[in-house]
């Protein structure tokens, strides 16, 4: 159960697009279409932003999108807004009823 690999930080200006990567292995990210992404503001509980690699829950802005290729999943945020500044975590099913998170990425909106 090794953590998925995410960049520690990313940044972008308002209106720009950014992409956060999440690299796992053929035992987790590469084996299941069960990667999800969570947004967490300071002092708050995480919020589901993307599930099953590419699906967006109702109520989540369509500026958020997910993709996956092989063992690497990605979260793209387009039209960056100040409110998007937060920590983002990816998570993948890892088999045998277990899950694994990434280390988290701090997004700064410049």
Partner 1 sequence: EVQLVESGGGLVQPGRSLRLSCAASGFTFDDYAMHWVRQAPGKGLEWVSGISWNGGSIGYADSVKGRFTMSRDNAKNSLYLQMNSLRAEDTALYYCAKDRCGGSCTFDYWGQGILVTVSS
Interface residues with partner 1 (CB under 8 A)? Answer: 1, 3, 34, 36, 38, 40, 45-48, 51-52, 57, 87, 89, 91, 93, 96-104
Q: How far is the CB of 3 from partner 1 (least distance, A)?
A: 8
CB of 99 to partner 1, least distance (A): 4
**Contact indicator for 6, 19 with CB cutoff of 8 Å:** no
Nearest to partner 1 of 51, 64 (CB atom): 51
Minimum CB distance to partner 1 smaller for 12 or for 46: 46
- DSSP assignment of the chain, as one string? -PPBB--SEEEE-TT--EEEEEE--TTTTTT-S-EEEEEE-TTS--EEEEBTTTB--TTS-TTEEEEEETTEEEEEE-S--GGG-EEEEEEEE-STT-EEEB--EEEEE-
Closest approach of partner 1 to the CB of residue 36, in Å:
4
Q: Tell me how far, at minimum, the Cβ of 14 lies from partner 1, in Å.
A: 26
Q: Which is nearer to partner 1, 36 or 65 (CB)?
A: 36
């Amino acid at each position: 159960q090794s953590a998925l690999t995410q960049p520690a930080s990313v940044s972008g200006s308002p209106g720009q697009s950014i992409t956060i990567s999440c690299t796992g292995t053929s035992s987790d990210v590469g084996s299941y279409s069960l990667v999800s992404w969570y947004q967490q503001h300071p002092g708050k509980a995480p919020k589901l932003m993307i599930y099953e690699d590419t699906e967006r829950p109702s109520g989540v802005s369509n500026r958020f999108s997910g993709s996956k290729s092989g063992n690497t999943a990605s979260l793209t945020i387009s039209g960056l807004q100040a409110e998007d500044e937060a920590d983002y975590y990816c998570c993948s099913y890892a088999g045998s009823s277990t899950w694994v998170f990434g280390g988290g990425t701090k997004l700064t909106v410049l």
